[in-house]
Structure 1
Amino acid sequence: MTEKRATAERKGREAEAQAAQWMMQQGWQLVAERVKTKGGEIDLIMRKAGMVAFIEVKWRKRAADLATAIDERRLSRVAAAVEMVAHEYANDGEDLRIDVLLLAPGTNPRHIANAWQP
């Protein structure tokens, strides 16, 4: 792994930990982290009052770069991964959604609830 890739990996893990902490402060319970599937990876799985959220976390050095951090192609990969494992994390009657949490230094986290609506 190159040094640049290793740094990106470390920053990604730090961002996911920060995102999980922020979501828990909002009343969510952490169910799982970094769930790998053949379709891709799900950064966080959180639960709150009949809802299970599969969360894609994006961190950028500059807040201005967050606008292009997530797109339909990336979200479709997350959705494919969710389809593979949703039954393992959601109980009958719980609603499912895919959220995005955008993070950058010096800014408040930006939570996009129900970001994937195919």
Structure 2
Amino acid sequence: MAQIPAGANRPGELNRKQTGDAWEAKARCWLESKGLQFIAANARERGGEIDLIMRHNHTTVFIEVRYRRSGRFGGALSSVTRAKQVKLLHTARLWLARHNGSFDTVDCRFDVIAFTGNEVEWIQNAFNDHS
């Protein structure tokens, strides 16, 4: 595996983007070990970004990856607020439309992979367009 570069301001430390990319890569590998197939990473649409898009059997899975060093101020899972969920739903709707689909025509779900310290939580179907 390639070495992860150090942050520019603090030698030996990653900047925010590098840290996010590293945890997203870890989440992707972990999910692939659980049988999901990779479709896309960092899918950007007007107004948002989806960390990972994968397929689980016949379901398209939009995945939000969150990381917190500790649970001292709330774990990583607690950082997926309702506002963040709405933004992800909007972004997924645009991504599906660009790929000739919609929530009505494509079987999909929204998962969260939350890393808090060394703990990992995989919340399948964490929210949907009806929640």
> TM class, shorter-chain normalised?
0.7 to 0.9
The 2-side partners of 1:85 and 1:30 are apart by 15
Which of 68, 78, 81 in structure 2 is aligned with 1:68?
Answer: 78
Runs of 4 or more consecutive aligned structure 1 residues displaced over 3 Å after TM superposition: none
Question: Closer, same or farther in 2 for the Cα pair 1:72/1:45, shift >3 Å?
Answer: same
Cα deviation 1:83-109 (Å, max 9, x = unaligned): 00124286xx651011111013321x2
| Larger RCO (CA within 8 A; separation ≥ 6) | 1
Instruction: Give aligned-pair identity as a percent.
Output: 26
Aligned to 2:4: none
The structure carrying a bigger helix percent of its residues is 1
Normalising by structure 2, what TM-score? Answer: 0.77
- What SS does the aligned partner of 1:114 have? strand
- Aligned-pair CA distance for 1:71: 1.1
Question: Closer, same or farther in 2 for the Cα pair 1:89/1:116, shift >3 Å?
Answer: farther
Question: Closer, same or farther in 2 for the Cα pair 1:110/1:89, shift >3 Å?
Answer: farther
The runs of 5 or more residues in structure 2 that have no matched partner are 1-7
In the alignment, does 2:40 pair up with 1:28? no
Cα deviation 1:40-71 (Å, max 9, x = unaligned): 00000000211110001001111443242211
Normalising by structure 1, what TM-score? Answer: 0.85
